[in-house]
């Protein structure tokens, strides 16, 4: 009774501070849900649609979730269904979702109070995986500075090209800014009905988008570390080295395999000349990192390419980035553990460093939980829709990994199926971080350790 009375005496700010200290990840889920609710309400207004009629709730919720979670899956075409006002709302949601809700909240707090309090540092530390609270301030500055500079640079490159292709300066500016923000934040939204298909052979347009998606998928801690030690790569920390190495390897492997699968496919790469095929292969190899753009019909790809994209999307990009998936460092740690076991090494090592066993435990947990979520969601959609497994699996992984690539079935799903994808996008943007943070924080010390016994494995 006394505890309940004490709780009623706390101000809302004190309650938030207490929740932030006890469970920052849980508060992050609440804030993300609140932001999605706000943009759902904005997109439900009649002025948000091109026809001036109110959008169905499921479409408004789906689009708001996809934008805030920087996914790119849509139930209605962005360029034709939504008005200019609605597209601006979507773009703002992408920017907020890309920065991270807690990072944005800390920026607002910094503007008001001229300092970043302990609560804000704990929140940003939980969201960005930054273990040193003293580095949170510099991380916030690099987040807003790096994202804005890259978006401006991409827009400056794209705007003249769109104008040379016949668009007015105002339309070119809008398309350049939209694609720049959508690319760097790995959102995959396009402001036109045709998307990027008309530019399948245009290096001027596609290469900046590829670079923006790749850099955005690395993660802000990596960008901060690389910029800080730009002239001394040896001083990069282990996380940066693992992220860069694994990201480059996945891009090279993905590009080569997509080219091999689709080179003679008449529905995708066959009509292109070899320079355009190389560009299309590079583009298709990078986009499963969580970019979500496409220059060819994904539905026309071979099933082998779909399976390859499933694997690449499930891995995703770097930790604390705009990308989704289980993250490249998770895959790297598990591969290194397999290599160490095969060699008979007692420790998992990389780049002259020993990786703690706790990191491997978190990697395994994140992978298994993610795979379980994908399995359950796939079974649910199979029961709801009756569609083929390969189509369902592609869409489920794309939603969970916040990628946005689609075989074209999202808009055709019943409302129940769309709500399943909404849940996947939400848990995909926040869930991996939540589970990893929760597992990492539950590192309690035990006075008594039980006797050790090794079960038979394999």
For the stretch 110-123, pLDDT in tens is 443 344 444 444 44
Judge contact between 78 and 191, C-beta under 8 A.
yes
Which are the contacts of 78, defined by CB distance < 8 A and separation ≥ 6? 63, 87, 90, 189, 190, 191
The strand pairing partners of 348, in sequence order, are 355
Judge contact between 278 and 178, C-beta under 8 A.
no
The strand pairing partners of 214, in sequence order, are none
Residue 333 CA from chain centroid, whole number: 20
Judge contact between 243 and 329, C-beta under 8 A.
yes
Average pLDDT score over residue span 166-188:
94
For the stretch 265-315, pLDDT in tens is 999 999 999 999 999 999 999 999 889 999 999 999 999 999 999 999 999
Phi/psi of residue 41, nearest 5 degrees: -65, -40
Q: Can you give the pLDDT at residue 30?
A: 75
pLDDT at 131 over 60: no
Q: Coil, helix or strand for 17? A: helix
Residue 160 CA from chain centroid, whole number: 29
Residue 293 CA from chain centroid, whole number: 13
Positive or negative, the CA dihedral 250, 395, 34, 192 is positive
For the stretch 182-232, pLDDT in tens is 999 999 999 998 899 999 999 999 999 999 999 989 887 788 788 888 888
Alpha-carbon distances, residue 374 vs 346, 389, 392, 423 (angstroms)? 33, 12, 10, 11
Judge contact between 167 and 191, C-beta under 8 A.
no
Judge contact between 73 and 421, C-beta under 8 A.
yes
> Confidence class of residue 354 from pLDDT cuts 50, 70 and 90?
very high
Residue 289 CA from chain centroid, whole number: 8
Element (H, E) at 67: helix 57-68
Which are the contacts of 165, defined by CB distance < 8 A and separation ≥ 6? none
% of residues, the chain, pLDDT over 90: 59
**What does the block give as tokens for 398?**
């794309």
Alpha-carbon distances, residue 35 vs 55, 153, 356 (angstroms)? 18, 28, 36
Q: What does the CA dihedral 396, 401, 406, 410 come to, rounded to 10 degrees? A: 50
For the stretch 91-108, pLDDT in tens is 999 998 887 654 554 444
Q: How many residues does the chain have?
A: 458
Q: Coil, helix or strand for 49? A: strand
Q: Can you give the pLDDT at residue 107?
A: 45
Positive or negative, the CA dihedral 251, 257, 258, 259 is positive
**What does the block give as tokens for 60?**
């408004």
pLDDT at 456 over 90: no
**Which of 330, 418, 321, 314 has the alpha carbon at shortest distance from 370?**
314
Judge contact between 290 and 300, C-beta under 8 A.
no
Judge contact between 317 and 324, C-beta under 8 A.
yes
**Average pLDDT for the chain:** 84
User: Which residue would you say has higher pLDDT here, 14 or 195?
Assistant: 195
Task: Give me the half-sphere count of Cα atoms (radius 13 Å) on the Cβ side of residue 239.
Answer: 21
């Amino acid at each position: 009774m006394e505890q309940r009375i004490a709780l009623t005496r706390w101000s809302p700010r004190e309650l938030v501070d207490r929740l932030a200290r006890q469970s920052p990840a849980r508060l992050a889920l609440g804030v993300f849900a609140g932001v999605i609710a706000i943009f759902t309400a904005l997109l439900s207004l009649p002025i948000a649609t091109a026809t001036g009629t109110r959008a169905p709730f499921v479409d408004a919720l789906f689009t708001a979730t996809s934008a805030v979670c920087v996914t790119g899956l849509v139930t209605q075409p962005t360029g034709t269904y939504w008005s200019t006002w609605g597209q601006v709302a979507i773009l703002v949601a992408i920017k907020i979702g890309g920065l991270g809700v807690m990072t944005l909240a800390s920026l607002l707090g910094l503007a008001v109070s001229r300092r970043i309090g302990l609560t804000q540092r704990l929140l940003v530390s939980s969201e960005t995986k930054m273990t040193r609270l003293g580095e949170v301030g510099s991380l916030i500055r690099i987040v807003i500075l790096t994202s804005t500079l890259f978006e401006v640079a991409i827009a400056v490159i794209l705007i003249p090209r769109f104008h040379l292709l016949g668009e007015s300066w105002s339309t070119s500016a809008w398309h350049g800014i939209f694609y720049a923000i959508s690319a760097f934040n790995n959102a995959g939204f396009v402001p036109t009905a045709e998307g990027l298909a008309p530019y399948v052979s245009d290096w001027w347009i596609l290469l900046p988008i590829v670079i923006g998606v790749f850099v955005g998928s690395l993660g802000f801690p990596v960008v901060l570390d690389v910029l800080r030690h730009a002239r001394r790569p040896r001083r990069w920390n282990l996380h940066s080295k693992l992220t860069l190495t694994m990201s480059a390897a996945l891009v090279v492997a993905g590009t080569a395999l997509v080219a091999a699968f689709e080179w003679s496919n008449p529905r995708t790469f066959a009509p292109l000349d070899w320079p355009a095929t190389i560009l299309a292969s590079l583009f298709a190899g990078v986009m499963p990192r969580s970019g979500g753009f496409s220059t060819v019909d994904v539905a026309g790809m071979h099933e082998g390419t779909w399976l390859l994209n499933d694997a690449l999307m499930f891995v995703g990009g770097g930790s604390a980035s705009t990308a989704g998936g289980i993250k490249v460092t998770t895959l790297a740690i598990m591969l290194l553990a397999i290599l160490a076991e095969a060699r008979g090494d007692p420790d998992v090592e990389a780049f002259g460093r020993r990786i703690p066993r706790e990191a491997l435990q978190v990697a395994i947990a994140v992978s298994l939980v993610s795979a379980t979520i994908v399995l359950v969601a796939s079974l649910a959609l199979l029961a709801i829709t009756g569609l083929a497994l390969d189509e369902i699996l592609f869409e489920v992984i794309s939603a969970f990994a916040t990628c946005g690539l689609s075989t074209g079935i999202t808009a055709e799903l019943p409302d129940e199926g769309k709500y399943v994808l909404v849940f996947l996008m939400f848990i995909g943007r926040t869930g991996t971080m939540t589970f990893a943070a929760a597992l990492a924080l539950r590192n309690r010390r035990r006075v008594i350790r039980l006797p050790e016994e090794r079960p038979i494995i394999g």
